[in-house]
Chain A
Amino acid sequence: MEISLNLLVNAVVSGLLLGGFYAAVTVGVTISFGMLDIVNIAHPAFIMAGSFVAYALNSAWGLDPILVGVGAAPVFFVIGLLVYQIYFYAFERRGEESMQGLAFFFGLLFVGEVSLILVFGVDYRFVEAPYIGPSLHFGFVELPLRMLIPCAVALIMVAVLQLYLGRSFIGRAILAVSQDRLALQLMAANPARVKCIAFGLSIATAAVAGALLIIIQPVEPSIGRDYIGRIFAICVLGGMTSFPGMVAGAMLIGVAESITATFYGPSWAPAVAFGFLLLTLAIRPAGLLGR
């Protein structure tokens, strides 16, 4: 009995750490999908790109992956601006964004994945950093730094974004777009420009999230797909636009996956997020903390 309690506590703790990381992965989609109504199912491809940037610079010069992630964020921001420009001129302006846009991002996801395969191959890649390996111990609870540090970085990133959206002028404009686009237009602001910046921001988070991902586990280009369902499950579970709701959803899915992996085997874990997603969509589409 004691052993299984041990196991359970450890599973919950590592699930919470995993959930923190999931928050970093999801925050970009919460901005693009939740706030801007842009169904960016290609987000996992950008996260993979972030992972491989971290891998390339880490293996070449031994740079710290998190620093690389933060350093690459501005570049990803610019890429995000460009993608939004294409999206805007091709779909949003014509008012055909939902279906055509979905196909566009689906193609982008695939192109991103195949390009990474062509450049890096299908082998699993990993990074080296001093905090990969050691762990802290509190009694029988184990806290691997490999999980703890990504979780902390992720939560810091979400908190910074939350502050930025709530306090800065552009941040408030982004929130305004998500609430009422027409009203913003009547205030003589251009929703497309605000959305452009916000979408850049959402892609920028993928650079950091990708770096965190490759710290947690070895990465190969096609594992990004596993994140599609997880990301959208968390986003929907968290009520689409709220960051606290998203973090709660991320923790919930992290714990559920971790418990499933511990007691039923890791091969069942992917179904957990998707099960949650289907259930939430079917029963409570407004999410945990939704209106």
Chain B
Amino acid sequence: MIGDAAFRAGRFWAVSFVVAVLLLLLTRAAIQNEYFFFAAYVVLQYVVLATAWNILGGYTGYINFGIGAFFAVGAYCSVVLHKLASVPVPVMMLAAGIASGIIGLGMGYLTLRLRGVFFAIATLAMAIVAQTLIVNWDFVGGSRGIYIIRPQHAPFFGDYVEYLYSLMLLLSWIAIATARTIERSRLGLGFNAIRDDEAAAEAAGVPTLRLKLIATTLSGALMGMAGAPLPYYVTYLDPASSFSLSYAVNSVAMPVIGGMTSWIGPVIGAVLLGTIQQVATVTISSALNLLIVGLLLIGFVIVAPNGIIGLIQSRRRARGAR
């Protein structure tokens, strides 16, 4: 049985990898417009953030509002590496993943004492503490921010933004495949048990602390990796924008809108909401598109708490009953 599950998980990794590579080759060969890659990078970044958030928030039910902390720590980790030595971006992503993963592990230990709402508030507090530390750290620019000069040429071919876009696409593949593997494994079963009733899960022999630590570490590491290419993407990084609450709102809104019970939910939410925002930023205004996200979040939470996936499932069920 387990061998069968492992085989199926492996097949998903392989199939999704092929899809990702095909998508990458197709977009890079067919699309000449440079703006597409600029916009697609942001959408993919949200796919990673939403998927990472959902590993903790959707599967185990612990709400993390401190997305900014992980994301920005990842970005600032790259700044430090950039200033110390010239390392390729994938290495930076790895280092950022480790740094944010360690913070995630720390956050996991918070769950020993804090449940539910208190955990959520503590994560919000953690983001501000991290921001204060960065603001007061002159080496990475402090509150003034820092300019990052991109390397002249991308390592393989094409424009540098296209290179960052390719990396983000691969990271999205890793995040999605990880989330799906967790969902279909014993680990995911344990996560769901924690979400439904932590005390009962503990009593039934589920190693809740270890599972929660895995979830927070993984979720934090993926967010950090998503933040790592940011300095090269924006070329100017400051604490106010990298810790921006809009990352947190988006990363919460996207899984809620897409549906939190399945790996595909955050992906749908991120692609949909991310694309709407990119279009709205260009055609309307950037403040208004944040308003849209907020209103959509409120609307979905009230009307369709299980998101788009939930809507589809209930419609299918209704059809089956008829």
Binding site for B on A (CB under 8 A): 39, 41, 86, 90-91, 96, 98-100, 102-104, 106-108, 110-111, 113-115, 117-118, 222, 225-226, 228-229, 232-233, 236, 265, 267-268, 270-271, 274-275, 277-278, 281-282, 285
Contacts and interface: CB of A to CB of B under 8 A. Distances in A.
Interface residues of B, number: 42
Contact of B293 (A110, A229, A233, A285): A110
Interface in B235-268: 245-246, 248-249, 252-253, 256
B11 to A, nearest CB: 33
B297 to A, nearest CB: 4
B243 to A, nearest CB: 10
Which residue, of A99, A100, A226, A270, has the highest number of chain B Cβ atoms within 10 A? A99
B298 interface: yes
Contacts of A233: 125
A113 B244 CA distance: 13
B114 A281 contact: yes
Contacts of A113: 245
B113 A282 contact: yes
Nearest to A122: B287
Given A98-B117, A274-B126, A285-B113, A118 B287 contact: yes
Contacts of B131: 270
Contact of A229 (B114, B117, B128, B298): B128
Nearest to B195: A99
Which residue, of A108, A226, A229, A268, has the highest number of chain B Cβ atoms within 10 A? A229
A226 B128 contact: yes
Contacts of A282: 110, 113-114
Given A107-B297, A281-B113, A281-B122, A271 B128 contact: yes
B20 interface: no
Contacts of B288: 114, 118
A interface, over-half SS? helix
A111 B291 contact: yes
A277 B63 contact: no
Nearest to B305: A100
A118 B128 contact: no
A143 to B, nearest CB: 29
17 contacts: A39-B121, A90-B302, A100-B301, A107-B298, A108-B298, A114-B287, A117-B287, A222-B245, A233-B125, A267-B132, A271-B128, A274-B128, A274-B132, A277-B121, A281-B114, A281-B122, A282-B114
B245 A110 contact: yes
B143 interface: yes
B65 interface: yes
B87 interface: no
B209 to A, nearest CB: 15
Contacts of B206: none
Contacts of B124: 41, 228-229
Nearest to B133: A271
Given A90-B302, A108-B298, A115-B291, A278 B136 contact: no
A222 B124 CA distance: 15
B144 to A, nearest CB: 11
A104 B301 contact: yes
A277 B122 contact: yes
Nearest to B296: A107
Contact of B65 (A106, A115, A270): A106
B125 A277 contact: yes
Interface string B58-88: 0001010100000000000000000000000
A285 B120 CA distance: 14
A265 B256 CA distance: 40
A278 B125 contact: yes
A39 B117 contact: yes
Give me the 6 closest cross-chain CB pairs, A-B, nearest first: A107-B297, A271-B132, A111-B294, A274-B125, A110-B294, A107-B298
Contacts of A114: 287-288, 290-291, 294
Nearest to A115: B291
Given A99-B116, A103-B63, 16 more contacts: A41-B124, A90-B301, A102-B117, A103-B253, A104-B297, A106-B248, A107-B295, A108-B294, A114-B291, A228-B124, A229-B128, A277-B121, A277-B122, A277-B125, A282-B114, A285-B114
B135 interface: yes
Nearest to B125: A274
B129 interface: yes
B7 interface: no
Contacts of B256: 103
B252 A103 contact: yes
A18 to B, nearest CB: 18
B262 to A, nearest CB: 17
Contacts of A102: 63, 117, 120
Contacts of B291: 111, 114-115, 118
